Amino acid sequence: KAGVTQTPRYLIKTRGQQVTLSCSPISGHRSVSWYQQTPGQGLQFLFEYFSETQRNKGNFPGRFSGRQFSNSRSEMNVSTLELGDSALYLCASSLLPTDTQYFGPGTRLTVL
């Protein structure tokens, strides 16, 4: 069974731009969670989607948004990028929201 895939793997953007990251969950998994990892803040929860609905959201500004499609694939969007948004963005999928999460390789975003 294929694991969680994330595209692109690396991105370089400039301040003020917006970016969209994509996540394809493990086949059959319906819950997708997103995390931001930075050296200073560690791993922080962004949001979780299940059956195309956002069920939970972390403490991030409204510039961070996401969605989930009927095939469980998910995208997250960051608008008006700031330097502090430079991070590794990790996506995880699970069968249900309370099940074990399996992570993708991440997208490394650099904001210049």
Partner 1 sequence: AQKVTQAQTEISVVEKEDVTLDCVYETRDTTYYLFWYKQPPSGELVFLIRRNSFDEQNEISGRYSWNFQKSTSSFNFTITASQVVDSAVYFCALSDVGAGGTSYGKLTFGQGTILTVHP
Q: Quote the least distance from Cβ 100 to partner 1, whole Å.
A: 5
Q: Which stretch binds partner 1 (CB under 8 A): 19-27, 41-49, 70-78, 79-87?
A: 41-49
| 94 sits near partner 1 (criterion: CB under 8 A) | yes
Helix (H, G, I), strand (E, B) or coil at 8: coil
Nearer to partner 1, 74 or 78 (CB): 74
43 is an interface residue for partner 1 by CB under 8 A: yes
**What are the DSSP calls for 57-112, one per residue?**
E-S--TTEEEEE-TTS-EEEEE-S--GGG-EEEEEEEESSTTSPPEE---EEEEE-
